[in-house]
Amino acid sequence: MKNLKILLGLFIFTIASIIITGLTLNYLGIEHGHLLIKIGVVFIVVNIILYLLLLIFSVGRNLFNLYSEKKQKAIGSKFRTQLVFSFVGLTLIPSILLFILSNQLINNSIDTWFSIEVQKPVHDSLDIAKVFYSHERDNVKNHAELIAYDNSLLNNSRGNIVSGNLKSFFLTAPDADGSEMIINAFNGVSDTEIVSQKGGDIIRAASPVKYEGKITGVIVVEKRIPRDIVEKMEAIRKAYNDYNQISMQQHPVRFIYFLMLTIATLVIVFLALWISLRIAKGITVPIRSLAEATKNVAHGDLDFRIDLVRDDEIGLLINSFNKMLEDLKDGKQSLEKAYKESDRRRLNMEAILESINSGVIFFDRTGRIATMNNAACSMLNIEHDSMTDKGHKELTSRLQSEELSLMVKNLVESASGSIEKEIHIYINGRPMDLRVYMTTLKDSASNFTGTLVVFDNLTEIIMAQRALAWQEVARRVAHEIKNPLTPIKLSAERLFKKWHEKASDFDDVLTRSTKTIVKEVNSLRSLVDEFSKFGKMPKIHLEPADVKHIITEVAELYSNTKELEIIISLQETPRIELDREHIKRALINLMDNAIQSGTRKISLNSFYLPSFDLIRIEVIDEGAGISEENKEKLFSPYFSTKKDGTGLGLAIVNSIISKHRGYIRVKDNDPRGSRFIIELPVGH
């Protein structure tokens, strides 16, 4: 069906071309020249015009579609319009200039062709040819009349006479095929004629011969014109005829040239317009597809694909866009999967945070609260929503603790390290003891992400520990007091008995009993003094100090002790905030404890552990050592392995180290003895 429409269109187009060709020939009035050439030229021109009209129709339809798209604000219509106008502007301006210039040149040329300066030589050339033939005819005619008039010449001409290029002969009667010139001569009229032959033209003249008033014959004179002269004369005549023919068709020629220029200009303009429309369509159609695809992607449709095959850069762009959509789809699926996994982990983490009894708070990198579990809200007596996105300053101001505020501020600003400390705060005027652990969190690229704070309420635990401690202290004190009271009681009863009996050895018994009572009382006083020291531990005063100097000072106190070797190994350690006197007192207690164990050599070591940010101090002896069962009770108050020990020395050491947020433990030394290890954190 489609091919039939095409054939029908071509048939109609051909018929229209033929009809228009005939009308054009009739209108222009072209009568000269070969008919096939005239028809061919006009047919070509008409076809060009019809094709131009077809091109104009196609371009017009595309322009109308472009206008409709622009009016509807279709995607790519603005760019397409700009591209079309750019092409038309680049083509129209030079085409118009070229059209004007060419038309002017053609008109000037045609005016030159038909100017007086050109016409005059053409006419003069033809006049020269005519004058030449007229002159030769007159000469031949005059010569014939002269012979006919002169009897002497006539007598000689009765036979064929050739004189130069003239030939004469005498006829007494006309030939059967005599020419009109001969007949006219026999009728008494001289005449001439021109006969064309292969060798050239022959000019003949015939004149009657009269005798006594009667025509007795005709003298004929011939003159041959050479072939080359004849050809030149014919060329002049043909050129003159051609010039006259062209001159008569001057206006049709001008019109044809003007029409051809106009058609060529219109063809160039509309062809450029058509090409620009095609190029614009080739660009805007993929752009429109890309825009529509982008809109679909923006609405979440990642399954959309551009089905457009191109083997140029635009095709590469489309393929890249489709590949990008594939990657986006895969990435979205991965993100959704990761989001579900992250959400699952978040829910698990929230469940874990809500199920533990410890308070947990997470500060982001700006110091604002990002996460807070219910246990933290309950401990701190605050509402969760009231503190979300609040800074650490708002939180610490409610807790009335400068120590906690300083801890959080230092850790958030430094963005590194960790802190563990027991602090005392007030919540709505109610005191509370907390064990706080703070640490900074970093991602896989070691970038600071926030600060994690975990804390436990130690108020009730500390109160219970204090109650248990005082119960243990009371039991120990009662036990320690009971031991000297028995000898005192027995000595007093013995004195009373001897005094009542008036015994002769009363003085001796009095002396011994008095010594016993005084000894036991002194033991009680010593016990009371140690207890007083333990119960009245002064508050520590922290200041920057060098651990090596403190250890050196303690070692110098025992430098004169007989049969005791002190070995010191001190590495470079950072300065740390501590109470010099308290740490010195703790080391002295450890030294005394080592000497009492019977050692002859004590080693004092100190070094820094950067991975834990700790300073480790070691007091090593080679004494009797400590059994495993006693290691657990060694730092408890009133526990001692010595016969007359109070059991408060190592308890005091443990209290001092604890107040410095440190730890103390004991291990066996190899091959014998004990190793007391103190670890003090550098960062506060």
Calculate mean pLDDT across residues 256-261: 74
Q: Evaluate whether residue 6 is within a structural domain.
A: yes
Residues 665 and 545 in one domain: yes
Residues 380 and 364 in one domain: yes
Is residue 578 within 8 A of residue 542, CB to CB? The reply is yes
Tell me the pLDDT tens digit for each residue of 142-154: 877 777 776 555 5
Q: Which strand (E) or helix (H) includes residue 495?
A: helix 459-501
C-alpha 372: how far from its chain's center? Answer: 39
Q: How far apart are CA 132 and CA 138, in angstroms?
A: 10
Q: How far apart are CA 426 and CA 405, in angstroms?
A: 13
- How much of the chain exceeds pLDDT 90, in percent? 4
Is residue 403 within 8 A of residue 391, CB to CB? The reply is no
Token output for 145: 């009349």
DSSP category for residue 391: B
Q: Evaluate whether residue 164 is within a structural domain.
A: yes
Residues 155 and 253 in one domain: no
Mean pLDDT of the chain: 74
Task: Kindly report the backbone phi and psi dihedral angles of residue 459, in degrees, each rounded to the nearest multiple of 5, phi listed first.
Answer: -60, -55
Q: Evaluate whether residue 27 is within a structural domain.
A: yes
Strand 543-545 to strand 576-578: parallel, antiparallel, or no bridges (unpaired)? antiparallel
SS (H, E, C) 212-260: CCEEEEEEEEEEEEEHHHHHHHHHHHHHHHHHHHHHHCHHHHHHHHHHH
Task: Kindly report the backbone phi and psi dihedral angles of residue 360, in degrees, each rounded to the nearest multiple of 5, phi listed first.
Answer: -130, 125
Does the pLDDT at position 38 exceed 60?
Answer: no
Q: CA nearest 433: which of 410, 471, 461?
A: 461
The listed range with the strongest mean pLDDT (59-63, 355-359, 450-454) is: 450-454
3-class SS of residue 609: strand
pLDDT at 618: 93
Whose tokens are 């130069």? That residue is: 164
Give the domain-ending residue among 412, 429, 455: 455
Q: Evaluate whether residue 32 is within a structural domain.
A: yes
Count of residues making up the chain: 684
Tell me the pLDDT tens digit for each residue of 168-192: 777 777 775 667 777 777 777 778 8
pLDDT at 75: 62
Of the ranges 59-63, 232-236, 316-320, 509-513, which one carries the lowest mean pLDDT score? Answer: 59-63
Token output for 38: 């005239």
Give the domain-ending residue among 214, 246, 278: 246
Q: Which strand (E) or helix (H) includes residue 642?
A: none
Is residue 202 within 8 A of residue 222, CB to CB? The reply is yes
Does the pLDDT at position 6 exceed 70?
Answer: no
Calculate mean pLDDT across residues 4-12: 55
Q: At how many degrees (to 10) do helices 116-149 and 227-248 cross?
A: 140
Q: CA nearest 134: which of 194, 195, 188?
A: 194
Is residue 584 within 8 A of residue 553, CB to CB? The reply is yes
pLDDT at 3: 47
Token output for 332: 């979205």
Number of Cα atoms under 13 Å in the Cβ half of residue 57: 6
DSSP category for residue 452: E
The string of DSSP codes covering 316-379 is: HHHHHHHHHHHHHHHHHHHHHHHHHHHHHHHHHHHHHHHHSSSEEEEEETTSBEEEE-HHHHHH
Residues 470 and 583 in one domain: no
Give the domain-ending residue among 411, 436, 455: 455
Calculate mean pLDDT across residues 436-460: 80
pLDDT-derived band at 605 (thresholds 50, 70, 90) equals very high
- CA distances (Å), origin 80, targets 279, 283, 451, 528: 9, 8, 57, 105
Q: Evaluate whether residue 318 is within a structural domain.
A: no
Tell me the pLDDT tens digit for each residue of 516-549: 788 777 777 766 766 665 555 556 788 899 999 9
Is residue 535 within 8 A of residue 469, CB to CB? The reply is no
Q: How far apart are CA 495 and CA 503, in angstroms?
A: 10
Q: Evaluate whether residue 336 is within a structural domain.
A: no
Residues 57 and 95 in one domain: yes
Helices (H), 381-458: 384-387, 392-399, 402-414
Residues 40 and 89 in one domain: yes
Rg of the chain in Å (alpha carbons): 69
Q: CA dihedral defined by 471, 473, 474, 478, rounded to 10 degrees?
A: 140
Residue 83 makes CB contacts below 8 A (sequence gap 6+) with: 276, 279, 280, 283, 284
Q: How far apart are CA 89 and CA 580, in angstroms?
A: 94
Q: Evaluate whether residue 120 is within a structural domain.
A: no
Residues 549 and 666 in one domain: yes
Q: How far apart are CA 674 and CA 580, in angstroms?
A: 25
CATH number for position 515: 1.10.287
pLDDT-derived band at 162 (thresholds 50, 70, 90) equals very low
Q: Evaluate whether residue 605 is within a structural domain.
A: yes
Of the ranges 311-325, 406-420, 555-569, 582-596, which one carries the lowest mean pLDDT score? Answer: 406-420
CATH number for position 612: 3.30.565.10
Token output for 639: 């526990």
CATH number for position 387: 3.30.450.20
Q: CA nearest 432: which of 411, 455, 451?
A: 455
Total domain count for the chain? Answer: 5
Residues 526 and 480 in one domain: yes
Sheet with 369-372: strands ordered across: 369-372, 359-364, 448-457, 430-442, 418-427
Spell out a b/e string for 110-140, using b for 16 or more CB atoms within 10 Å of the CB, else e.
beeeeeeeeeeebeebbeebeeebeebbebb
Claim: this prediction has a pTM higher than 0.85: no
DSSP-assigned beta bridge partners for residue 221: 168, 205
Task: Kindly report the backbone phi and psi dihedral angles of residue 34, in degrees, each rounded to the nearest multiple of 5, phi listed first.
Answer: -70, 135
Range of the domain at 189: 137-246
Calculate mean pLDDT across residues 604-623: 89
Residues 143 and 221 in one domain: yes
Residues 361 and 286 in one domain: no
Q: How far apart are CA 361 and CA 371, in angstroms?
A: 6
Residues 230 and 271 in one domain: no
Residues 451 and 367 in one domain: yes
pLDDT at 33: 46
Q: How far apart are CA 135 and CA 675, in angstroms?
A: 160
Does the pLDDT at position 617 exceed 90?
Answer: yes
Task: Kindly report the backbone phi and psi dihedral angles of residue 644, in degrees, each rounded to the nearest multiple of 5, phi listed first.
Answer: -110, 25
